[in-house]
């Protein structure tokens, strides 16, 4: 899935005091960053992307991405598996006359990790208020059926897939172990 954010950096925003904007994402693997820098920046505007205090892009710590009329995609593999699921876009603008808007598309993949799928189901389909869930499960057969259906149709298949993946991993591990390693396991 792709997330998009446009950041307008006011004129005279200093490098030492950059604009900081959060972009909310979802749990997964950040797979690409696609900056869209319009014509007219003339190398006066710089941007970078952080996760907390860790500089994610450009990859050289302390550097900024500076361009004019640029659009390209940068492949990346960065796990985003703990909250908050967000990145920080920082930008400066040394142009003393014009604001500049830089747009970003950020690709996030959720494939291949049953834990992320489970997190997604819980986040998007289980009611926010646990007390409401308990009350609705007790008070109404309709709510109880929806809860049972959610567990049967959404959560159990993900948990079963995760368990199978772990069992397969252990099977491979056992096959490569010596008899001594198996006895000590």
Are 127 and 105 contained in the same domain? no
Are 66 and 46 in contact by the 8 Å Cβ rule? The answer is: yes
pLDDT for the residue 138: 43
Are 27 and 8 contained in the same domain? yes
What CATH number does residue 25 fall under?
Answer: 2.60.120.380
Residue 127, domain extent: 114-184
pLDDT for the residue 43: 92
Are 103 and 120 contained in the same domain? no
**Dist. CA 78–CA 85, nearest whole Å:** 12
**Dist. CA 108–CA 96, nearest whole Å:** 35
The beta strands (E) that lie in 58-177 are given as 65-66, 70-71, 74-80, 86-93, 100-109
Token duo for residue 60: 């050289």
**Dist. CA 49–CA 61, nearest whole Å:** 11
pLDDT for the residue 137: 45
**Dist. CA 7–CA 106, nearest whole Å:** 13
Are 6 and 92 contained in the same domain? yes
pLDDT of the chain along its 185 residues, tens only?
A: 889 999 999 999 999 999 999 999 988 889 999 999 999 999 999 999 999 889 999 989 999 999 999 988 899 888 887 888 899 999 999 999 999 999 999 999 876 555 555 555 565 655 555 435 444 444 444 445 565 666 667 777 777 777 777 676 666 555 666 666 656 65
Are 105 and 165 contained in the same domain? no
Are 71 and 124 contained in the same domain? no
Reported pTM: 0.61
Per the structure, the count of domains in the chain is 2
Are 30 and 76 in contact by the 8 Å Cβ rule? The answer is: yes
Are 101 and 133 contained in the same domain? no
DSSP 26-48: -SEEEEEEEEEE-TT-TT-EEEE
Close Cβ partners of 84 (under 8 Å, ≥ 6 residues apart): 24
pLDDT for the residue 47: 97
């Amino acid at each position: 899935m792709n997330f998009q954010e446009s950041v307008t950096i006011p004129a005279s925003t200093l490098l030492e005091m950059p604009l900081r904007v959060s972009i909310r994402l979802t749990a997964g693997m950040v797979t690409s960053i696609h900056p869209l820098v319009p014509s007219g920046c003339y190398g006066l505007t710089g941007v970078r992307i952080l996760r907390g205090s860790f500089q994610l892009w450009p990859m050289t710590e302390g550097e900024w991405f500076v361009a004019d009329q640029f659009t390209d995609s940068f492949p990346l593999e960065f796990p985003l598996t703990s909250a908050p699921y967000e990145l920080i876009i920082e930008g400066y603008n040394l142009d003393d006359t014009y604001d500049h808007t830089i747009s970003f598309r950020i690709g996030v993949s959720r494939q291949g990790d049953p834990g992320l799928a489970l997190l997604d189901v819980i986040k998007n389909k289980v009611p926010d208020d646990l007390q409401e869930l308990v009350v609705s499960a007790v008070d109404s057969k309709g709510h109880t059926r929806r809860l049972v259906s959610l567990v049967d149709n959404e959560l159990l298949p993900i948990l079963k897939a995760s368990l199978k993946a772990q069992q397969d991993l252990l099977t491979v591990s056992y096959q490569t172990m010596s008899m001594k390693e198996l006895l000590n396991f």
